[in-house]
Copies of this chain bind each other. A is one copy, B any other.
Amino acid sequence: MGKKFRETHTIPFYECDAKRRLTIPTLIKLAVSCSTVQSEQLGVSEEDVEKLGLGWIITHYEITISRLPEQGETVTVQTEAESYNKFFCYRNFWIFDESGAECVFIESVFALMDFETRKIASVRDEVLAPFESEKIKKIKRPTPLLPFEKATESKDYRVRFYDLDANQHVNNAVYFSWLFDVLDRSFLEEHVPEKIVLNFNKEVRYGEMVVSEYELVEEVEFLATKHQVHSQDQLSCEATIYWQR
């Protein structure tokens, strides 16, 4: 069990959609920002990790949403670097509202990317030590995605300058805007996700053209959209989103 870290945050209008609900890309940014601040305070900031020729990347998310906070609400964001093995770090995030109720719970898998090879490097004990995460042998098996069969619709996106982060590739939160934007406006206005499972397969870089596709699945038990994002004909991200009804 790692050290917990908390921050409070009042949601400004610009972190919300046209219905004044926190957007999913911002939800992700708020969470990751909390771990960035924790890392700084523990003396292993992004810049410290860069000096080792490494950068944090995220390979997997599993997001459970009870309620999306709205404009003007003050939320508490909490994070904990729970455990790690040779290659992966398991970090959890929570968003609580003012009454203390859990709005969002996120399980995530972080890894260190070598800037030169742009491949995953093994986790360094000295980078992880300050978080007091448990070192484990096991590689956790992520929740499986629903298999993608045939796109209902697709849209193209060109990577923009502001999509890049200090790792010189598209920030992980931007993928969520591609995943959601491909859906119809009326669908997005009327639906709120309750669970998002997402795998990152390959980084996307400046100027690339990205194709975001989705497939709608309506079953008796659930309403879901299955997603794939390709860049340069390679799969860069896959996800399943389950929607509240």
Contact = CB atoms under 8 A, between A and B. Distances in A.
A165 B17 CA distance: 6
B173 A14 contact: yes
B181 A18 contact: no
Contacts of A118: none
Given A12-B33, A29-B12, A40-B72, A17 B207 contact: no
Interface size class of A (residues with CB under 8 A): 35 or more
Interface stretch (A94-102, A103-111, A153-161, A224-232): A153-161
Contacts of A165: 13, 18
Contacts of A37: 12
Contacts of A33: 12-14
Interface string A114-135: 0000000000000000000000
Contact of A160 (B166, B168, B177, B207): B177
Given A166-B13, A166-B20, A206 B177 contact: no
A38 interface: no
Contact of A164 (B17, B26, B32): B17
A23 interface: yes
A62 B200 CA distance: 41
A42 interface: no
Contact of A25 (B32, B162, B173, B177): B162
A185 interface: yes
Given A161-B181, A185-B161, A168 B14 contact: no
19 contacts: A12-B29, A12-B30, A12-B33, A12-B37, A13-B33, A13-B165, A14-B26, A14-B29, A14-B32, A14-B173, A17-B164, A18-B161, A20-B166, A23-B162, A155-B158, A160-B181, A161-B180, A161-B183, A161-B185
